[in-house]
Structure formats: C-alpha cells, structure tokens
Amino acid sequence: MEWLNLGVRWIHMIVGIAWIGASFYFVWLENNLNRANPRDGLSGDLWAIHGGGIYHLEKYKLAPPTMPDNLHWFKWEAYWTWMSGIVLLCIVFYSNPTLYLLAPGSTLSGGEGIAIGVGALIASWFIYDLLCDSPLGKRPGLLGLVLFVLVIGACYGFSQVFSGRGAYLHTGAIIGTIMVGNVFRIIMPAQRALVAAIAENRTPDPMLPAKGLLRSRHNNYFTLPVLFIMISNHFPSTYGSQYNWLILAGIAVVAVVVRHYFNTRHNSHKFAWALPVGALGMICLAYVTGPAQMPRGPEVAKIEYQPLPATAIGGHRADEPKPAAAPAQAPAEPTQASTGGVDFEKVHSVIQERCAVCHSAKPTSPLFSSAPGGIMFDTPQQIQQLAPRIQAQAVTAQIMPLGNITQMTQQERDLLGQWIDKGAQTN
C-alpha cells in the first residue's frame, strides 16, 4: 500500500505539474500578446526565446480561414490529474476510513463518511455550473465571492465530520473536480465547436470560446489554493487546528491575491501591493496558529470511542482485551508540577503505549512494516529530540495518534505538554 500510495502520488504530481504549467503559460501568453496594430484576422502576437530558439506565436481573433493539419490539444493533463487524485483519495482515505477519514470518536460509519465525500464532489460541480450559468455569472466579482464562501463553508462542514486532513483534502478535491469539469464540460466542447465550424465553413459562435476563456480563468485562480491543499497534509498547524477552515480561508485569500498580481502585472503595477500583503498575511497566519495563540483541539477525554473493528494495536484488535503481559494502564496524571518537573517514567509509559506501537524500529501494529516517516520513539533520547513534533501533533493539534487508534486521553496529552513545557528532561 505504501508503494501504491507513492506511485500514484508521483503520477498525480507529474500530470498536475503539466496541467498547471500549461494553464499558467497560456494565461501568461494571453496577457502578454502585442495587440498594437495586429495583422488582419489576428488579435495579437508574441515573440519569445527559450532553449536557444526564437518563437513567434500568433492568436487569431476567432479562427484561421482553414484549419492546420496538426492542431495540439490540451486536455489529458487535466483528466489524468483528476483521475490520479481520485485514486489517491481512495488509497489514503477510503481504503481505511475509520483511521484516516473520520474524526476521532465520530459516530459515522466508514461507508457513511465515504458517501458524504463522494456526494460532495458530485454536488459541487452542479452547484458551481448552475451559478456560472445564472445571472450571477455576469458579475464575476460577486460570483467569485459567492464561490469563496461556498468552498470555505464546505471545508467547515467537512471539519465537523472528517479528520483535519480529510477535511482539507476533500475541499481540494471539490475544487479539482470543478476545474476538471470546466475542461471536460465547457472548454473542450467550446473548442470542438470552434474547430467543427471552421471545417464546415460556418461562422463560429463567439460566445462559446468566450465562455471557455472565462472558465479557464476560474481554473487559473483556483490553482494556488489547490496546490496548498496538496502539500498541507505535511503541516499539522494548518489542518490540525480547531479553526482549520478559517486558516484555509486565509491561505486562499493570500493565494488569489498573489495570483491576481501575476495575472495583471503586464498592464500596470497597480497591484504591486499584493505581494507584500500576501507575505504579511502568511506571517500573521504563522503567528495566530502558534501553540501559544491557538486553543488545543477537542477534549479527547470527553469522546466516547467506538470499537475499531479489523484494526490492530500491538498485534491484537482494538476491540479485544490486551494480553496479560501488557495490561491497560490508568490514565497518567501529571506529577511534580509544584516542583517544576514531570516524571519522565510516566511520559515514557504514555509514549510506549500510545505512540511506539507504530513509531518504532519494529512496529507491533500490523498497519505498518516500518516506522511512518522514519519517526521512532524507542529510546529516551529519541523521545527528547522529537519533543517539538510531539507537542505539535499530539498535544496542540491532537491529530496523532491517527484516528486516536490507541485512545490517548486528554490527561495523557496534558502530561506530555507539561513535560515539554518544563524542558523535556529525561532524568
């Protein structure tokens, strides 16, 4: 499964780069055409040099009198990006929804979670397409605002039933589905109609290419938020926050503002403020998501956990009693707080019972054949060195253990947090 995950993820990245690169290039090309006194039938041209060669590109107002023998189309980059993304969604989240997709303690079944995710992807395209074809579609600014609110609203809804990563990745999948829907349902049909009209010596309908260009621009502005979501699963201070949907909203605003600057800088520098404002926005997000500013995640101790069938911990099912050699321990209580220290033996016990079943040189959980991410807690020195990660993922964001499969309690998280706050000493 790990190699399947890696292979599909690699394909997804490669074809995604091809799609995004083509999108960025053609928007740049459109924005940089020389439109001063174009040759008859053209809307502009452009000279460029790359790779030791000089290129001359021309754009027709609508189409040439006759179609060339070889016309290059751009579509499979988009299709393969979406298809590989859906396969990746199935591998990572849908193959084990109770572990990766659903929030810890969720009362939903895995099938219900998958149904919510798939249903949202399907519904998102029809809602978007309906809005674009409505009178709202003639007011691009207002339409953009409505779409922004709906996407962030979807992220908030996902965050109520999914894990943080599940919420983010499904929000990205919604945007990706809209983008590929634009290519498949709007842009490509418009281009086919244009080519067919030329071949049949008919006057092409100028509305279809214009509609395709508008949807292409939508895709261009969607791109940076989607790219952020693709890499966000490596950064728990975003998706692991109690306010992850607001963080995503902030990131999306920054991304759109920066993209708008690059889309318009050829005309003037009136949006030059976008880059420093975007940088300031990122700095503000980094500050407000710090451990001192963000409240900790939901109180795990208050959740009634459901058994996790077919999931093993330390070589036995989560809903089976542990063997006598490893009796369940009572929740660890912080000690020595008044003297400024925390008993490391209790910290070590929590780490071994709740974390080391996966994060070890020889994991006892059958879910992993090697320590995820190479993170191991076999020795006190390793635990001490990894204290910042423990703080970020188990104490502040509370995204670890995955799906809280080992049922770490809030008291145990507090114990780890106190130990780290007091200097993470091992003696």
Number of domain units in the chain: 2
Residue type, 179: M
Q: Same structural domain for residues 282 and 310?
A: no
Q: Same structural domain for residues 214 and 324?
A: no
User: Which residues lie closer than 8 Å to 16 by C-beta, 6 or more apart?
Assistant: 81, 85, 230
Q: Same structural domain for residues 222 and 93?
A: yes
Last residue of a domain, one of 226, 254, 288: 288
Q: Does residue 347 belong to any structural domain of this protein?
A: yes
Q: Same structural domain for residues 275 and 342?
A: no
Q: Same structural domain for residues 96 and 214?
A: yes
Q: Does residue 68 belong to any structural domain of this protein?
A: no
Q: Same structural domain for residues 209 and 231?
A: yes
- Residue whose entry in the numeric block shows the structure tokens 């780069």: 17
Q: Does residue 8 belong to any structural domain of this protein?
A: no
Quickly list H helices, 233-273.
Answer: 236-239, 244-264
Q: What is the pLDDT of residue 397?
A: 73
Last residue of a domain, one of 288, 315, 330: 288
Paired tokens of 318: 């989560």
- Residue whose entry in the numeric block shows the structure tokens 């054949």: 369
User: Which residues lie closer than 8 Å to 404 by C-beta, 6 or more apart?
Assistant: 104, 105, 300, 303, 305
Q: Same structural domain for residues 316 and 284?
A: no
Quickly list H helices, 233-243.
Answer: 236-239
Residue pair 51/185 in contact (Cβ under 8 Å)? The answer is no
Q: What is the pLDDT of residue 326?
A: 42
Q: Same structural domain for residues 397 and 322?
A: yes
Q: What is the pLDDT of residue 98?
A: 84
Residue 361: HSE in the Cβ half-sphere, 13 Å Cα cutoff:
3
Strand bridging mode 53-60 / 316-317: unpaired
Q: What is the pLDDT of residue 91?
A: 93
Domain, as residue range, for 386: 302-421
Cα distances (angstroms) measured from residue 246 to each of 77, 148, 377: 31, 12, 33
Q: Same structural domain for residues 281 and 318?
A: no
Q: Does residue 67 belong to any structural domain of this protein?
A: no
Q: Same structural domain for residues 81 and 197?
A: yes
| pTM metric for this prediction | 0.74
- Radius of gyration from C-alpha coordinates of the chain: 26
Paired tokens of 277: 């404002």
Paired tokens of 345: 């033996």
* Residues counted in the chain: 427
Can you tell me the distance from the alpha carbon of 86 to that of 95, in angstroms, rounded to the nearest whole number?
12
Q: Does residue 404 belong to any structural domain of this protein?
A: yes
Q: Does residue 18 belong to any structural domain of this protein?
A: no
Question: 322-360 burial, b if ≥16 CB within 10 A, otherwise e?
Answer: eeeeeeeeeebebeeeeeeebebebbbebbbbbbbbbbb
Paired tokens of 341: 């220290």
Residue 34: HSE in the Cβ half-sphere, 13 Å Cα cutoff:
11
pLDDT in tens, the chain (427 residues): 888 989 999 999 999 999 999 988 988 888 889 999 888 889 999 999 999 999 999 998 878 888 888 889 999 999 999 999 999 999 989 998 988 898 877 889 999 999 999 999 999 999 999 999 999 888 888 999 999 999 999 999 999 999 888 999 999 999 999 999 999 999 999 889 888 888 888 877 778 877 888 888 899 999 999 999 988 887 877 887 888 999 999 999 999 999 988 888 877 778 889 999 999 999 999 888 776 554 444 433 333 333 334 333 333 333 344 444 344 444 444 444 433 467 888 899 999 988 988 898 888 877 777 777 778 898 888 898 888 888 888 887 787 887 777 888 888 898 998 898 888 888 7
Q: Same structural domain for residues 230 and 328?
A: no
Paired tokens of 197: 């009209």
Last residue of a domain, one of 288, 322, 351: 288
Q: Same structural domain for residues 166 and 283?
A: yes
User: Which residues lie closer than 8 Å to 403 by C-beta, 6 or more apart?
Assistant: 98, 99, 100, 102, 104, 163, 308
Q: Does residue 329 belong to any structural domain of this protein?
A: yes
Q: Does residue 161 belong to any structural domain of this protein?
A: yes
Give strand ranges (E) for 233-346.
312-313, 316-317
CA proximity to 155, closest of 228, 247, 233 = 247
